[in-house]
């Protein structure tokens, strides 16, 4: 059968993932229903998330490795843990379905807003790699596409148009983040320039994403130079670090060397997992950390980040399926909770992980002792850590305080 938009089961294509303020969603893949409380959670409360990935259907005559939605879900979905590289390899199955197609890219952005509006989202920051969606003026051309005429610059323009149309039609405030890719440092100088060019549209920040196990990738000169330009130009910064990489990588991307000395990168085989975190802090001067679990392996770094109110984007179910957390060990999010750190709960990639935001909330509630008050606290801190201007951030926080029945100037946890 054709895998198209007419299919109500909606085979979906990964493009974006987001910071979004959302209500619980139905625990059924591919079906969009009004928000309602999941069993055992109780009252529906707004949530702020940093890592839910977004999917939309697309029909372009692209050959996919399946004939039905169910078969494709079985191929790209995960039920048991894989490595992070194994998880990332899943994207090659379906990203070719939209890369290089103007209509698909704009529609993807638009339908993403529609989807999140139906889940109760009121604000989100979506992130993507312009180069992974282009087929012109990008080297190498991704996903084995033939050379075309869609540049990374026009990709950003198309995504902006789709997001803005969605914001108008569905009443959701939307901003975007452009990703550098660890394995393609030559793209990074253009990424930061696109952030500067489109900062008056929807773009609010730069990100570094991709395979953290690529040795030394945080310190590739083009990534470092792009982030230095972002600092100089006032572009907000977030980085995926400390998910499978070490604390050293986090240290390098967030700008702290402990006593002022820049610590050199160490091979992952010798330094263990704390190298990734160290690099994220010292060199790239990130303002938020995607995951950041292995920061805990460097107590001095972790304590300093807590004092500086660094925000951790935590994805519990994802960390299980990517093999970064082993059942039986205490998850980093429990330490973050106990220490009243600044963090949020997120889905990471619902299609591949066969999950919703409720998966992560139920996991932490049932297995890790999280309470409704902690959910409120972490969501308010996530909103405070958004990249909105201060006046718009205050409006978002006022919305949360009202929904939570808290005084307008109430504070949950540390303020940024």
Catalytic pick from 243, 252, 297, 374?
243
Is 235:196 a contact under the CB 8 Å cutoff? yes
Residues 99, 145 contacting (CB under 8 angstroms) = yes
Dihedral, CA atoms, 227, 295, 87, 318, nearest 10 degrees? -120
Write the CB contacts of 282 (distance below 8 Å, at least 6 apart in sequence): 251, 252, 253, 254, 255, 256, 257, 262, 263
Structure tokens that stand for 349 in this block: 């990639």
Q: From CA 79, how far away is CA 88, in angstroms rounded? A: 15
Tokens found for residue 45: 């409360």
Give the closest residue to 325 by CA, choosing from 363, 279, 374, 271. Answer: 363
- Provide the Cα torsion 296, 300, 303, 309; round to 10°: -100
243 catalytically annotated: yes
User: How many C-beta neighbours within 10 Å does residue 147 have?
Assistant: 11
Q: 348 is written with which tokens?
A: 């990471």
125 vs 20: CA distance, rounded Å = 6
Q: CB of 38 within 8 A of CB of 133?
A: no
Q: For the chain, how are helix, strand and coil distributed in percent, rounded to 5?
A: 45, 15, 40
d(CA 78, CA 89): 12
Q: Nearest CA to 18 among 376, 350, 405, 353?
A: 350
- Closest by CA position to 180, among listed 284, 49, 312, 76: 284
- Contact of 191 with 204, CB cutoff 8 Å: no
Buried b (16+ CB within 10 A) or exposed e, 148-177: eebbbbbbbbbbbbbbbbbbeebebbbbbb
- Which residues are part of the catalytic machinery? 243
């Amino acid at each position: 059968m054709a895998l198209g938009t007419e299919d109500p089961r909606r085979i979906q294509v990964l493009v974006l993932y987001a910071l979004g303020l959302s209500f619980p969603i139905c625990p059924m893949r591919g079906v969009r229903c009004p928000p309602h409380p999941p069993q055992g959670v109780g009252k529906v409360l707004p949530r702020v998330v940093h890592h839910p990935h977004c999917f939309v259907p697309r029909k372009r005559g692209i050959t996919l490795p399946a004939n039905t939605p169910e078969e494709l879900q079985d191929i790209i979905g995960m039920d048991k843990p894989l490595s992070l590289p194994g998880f990332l390899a899943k994207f090659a199955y379906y990203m070719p379905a939209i890369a290089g197609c103007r209509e698909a890219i704009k529609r993807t952005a638009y339908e993403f807003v529609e989807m999140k509006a139906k889940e109760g989202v009121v604000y989100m920051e979506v992130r993507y790699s312009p180069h992974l969606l282009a087929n012109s003026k990008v080297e190498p051309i991704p996903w084995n596409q033939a050379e075309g005429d869609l540049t990374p610059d026009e990709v950003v323009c198309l995504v902006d148009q789709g997001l803005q149309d969605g914001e108008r039609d569905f009443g959701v405030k939307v901003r975007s983040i452009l990703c550098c890719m660890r394995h393609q440092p030559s793209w990074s100088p253009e990424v930061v320039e696109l952030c500067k060019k489109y900062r008056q549209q929807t773009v609010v920040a730069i990100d570094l994403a991709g395979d953290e196990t690529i040795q030394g990738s945080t310190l590739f000169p083009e990534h470092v130079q792009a982030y230095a330009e972002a600092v100089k130009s006032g572009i907000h910064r977030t980085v995926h670090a400390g998910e499978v990489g070490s604390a050293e990588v986090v240290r390098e991307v967030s700008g702290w060397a402990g006593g002022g000395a820049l610590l050199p990168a160490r091979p992952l085989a010798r330094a263990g997992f704390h190298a990734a975190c160290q690099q994220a802090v010292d060199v790239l001067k990130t303002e938020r950390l995607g995951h950041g679990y292995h920061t805990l392996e460097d107590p001095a770094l972790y304590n300093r980040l807590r004092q500086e109110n660094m925000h951790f984007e935590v994805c519990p179910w994802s960390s299980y399926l990517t093999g970064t957390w082993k059942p039986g060990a205490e998850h980093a999010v429990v330490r973050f909770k106990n220490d009243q750190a600044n963090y949020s709960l997120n889905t990471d990639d619902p299609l591949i992980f066969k999950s919703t935001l409720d998966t992560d909330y139920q996991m932490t509630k049932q297995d890790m002792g999280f309470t409704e008050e902690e959910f409120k606290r972490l969501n308010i801190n996530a909103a405070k850590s958004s990249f909105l201007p201060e006046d718009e951030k205050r409006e978002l926080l006022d919305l949360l305080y009202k929904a939570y029945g808290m005084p307008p100037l109430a504070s949950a946890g540390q303020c940024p």
